[in-house]
Amino acid sequence: MLWGGDEIVALNRRTALARLTEVAARDLIPFAGRAVRRAKRAADQLAYRTLGPDFEERNLALKAHYQDKGGDPFGLDTEFTKYMAMVTSVAHRLWFRTSVYGIENVPSGGALLVSNHSGQFPLDGMMIAASMFMDAQPPRLVRAMVEKWAQTMPYISLLFSRTGQVVGVPDNCRRLLERDELILVFPEGARGVSKPFSKRYQLQDFGPGFMRMAMEMGVPIIPVAVVGAEEQYVNVGNLEWAAKFLGAPALPLLPQLLIPGGQLPLPTKYHIYFGEPMSFEGDPDDDELVEEQAWLVKQNIQNMLGQGLRSRQNIFF
């Protein structure tokens, strides 16, 4: 009885806005909900046909893993991640037809995946994540550190946090490593991703932050080389002044965007090489040592890139 009384009071206190929202919730949302459910079912079926029964199993394994851990404090939503994983996995299997080598080198605990960065848009990160999801046993979720300005953008910030990507501050990285997570780092940063076509497969300067973190936390570094991303968009130069004006990290000139259909990346074949784990020790405040060891990782990745390029027959096949 008490509750009934409360409800009447609550209804009387409703504002016009509340009533409008209620109409929306009662009449429009079920309609939209049906459409969403239908779309989800269709997507599930498509995933089953293109990616095999494996996809759903891997999803369940990932979900169970995070449930055992008592959820994720960074805002990861495994249900949402499933659909993002679907999109990336389709691109991984069908568009880029990715070949993955040495994925058994990735240990089961916390580790840093350190990779070259290329391709104008960070699709290489998505493909590495898709490899860890589709090809690793058991499936792993890759957590990347994203730029701070991404947090200020509506929906984009949401997309990142729901898929388990976190703001790039050292404390977050430490916390994730303590939780045995796999962290993807691109030490070249924007310098690597937006370099012109003429500099393809030449590693840019490595920031030393990843090495400091690995030494401090005592976690292994897995060098990763991605071959095939450099040719997906052909960059003829960067407009630095325009990038500065817009506050963006870079503004590449991509002529192919003007051709109809050229907005999609070229369907190059991706080869992703996971190297053997590298362990480092020492004082993380010793700048010289940090630089030296970061250089070792860089050389290792450069060698892996060279080998990958030599064994590649064709850019597209």
Residues that bind another protein (CB under 8 A): 5-6, 9-10, 13-15, 17-18, 21-22, 25, 70-71, 73-75, 77, 148-149, 151-158, 161, 166-167, 169, 171-172, 175
CA distance 306 to 126: 22
Q: Which amino acid is residue 19, in one-letter code?
A: R
Q: Which of residues 71 and 107 has its CB atom nearest to another protein in the complex?
A: 71
Decide whether 79 or 281 has the Cβ nearer to another protein: 79
Smallest distance from another protein to CB 231, Å: 33
3-state secondary structure of 147: coil
How many CA atoms lie less than 13 Å away from 57 in the CB half-sphere? Answer: 9
Closer CB to another protein, residue 79 or residue 291? 79
CB atoms within 10 A of CB 214: 27
Least Å distance, CB 212 to another protein, is 16
Contact indicator for 62, 106 with CB cutoff of 8 Å: no
The answer to whether the CB of 60 falls within 8 A of the CB of 54 is no
Contact call for residues 266 and 297 (beta carbons, < 8 A): no
- Name the residue nearer to another protein (CB basis): 175 or 312: 175
Task: Enumerate residues 6+ apart whose C-beta is below 8 A from 72.
Answer: 66, 164
Sheet holding 99-101, edge to edge: 99-101, 271-274, 221-227, 111-115, 182-185, 142-146, 166-167
Residue 207 CB, nearest approach to another protein (Å): 17
Determine how β-strand 221-227 pairs with β-strand 111-115.
parallel
How far apart are CB 20 and another protein at their closest, in Å?
A: 8
Which one, 136 or 146, has the nearer CB to another protein?
A: 146
Nearer to another protein, 132 or 173 (CB): 173
Give the CA distances from residue 99 to residues 140, 241, 272, 280, in Å, rounded to whole numbers and listed in that order.
18, 38, 6, 29
Spatial distance between the Cα atoms of 198 and 316, rounded to a whole number of angstroms: 19
* Tokens 């780092």, located at residue: 185
Please give the backbone phi and psi of residue 216, each rounded to the nearest 5 degrees, phi first. Answer: -70, -40
- Residue 130 CA to residue 141 CA, distance in Å, equals 9
The nearer residue to another protein, 17 or 258, going by C-beta atoms, is 17
Closer CB to another protein, 75 or 267, in the complex:
75
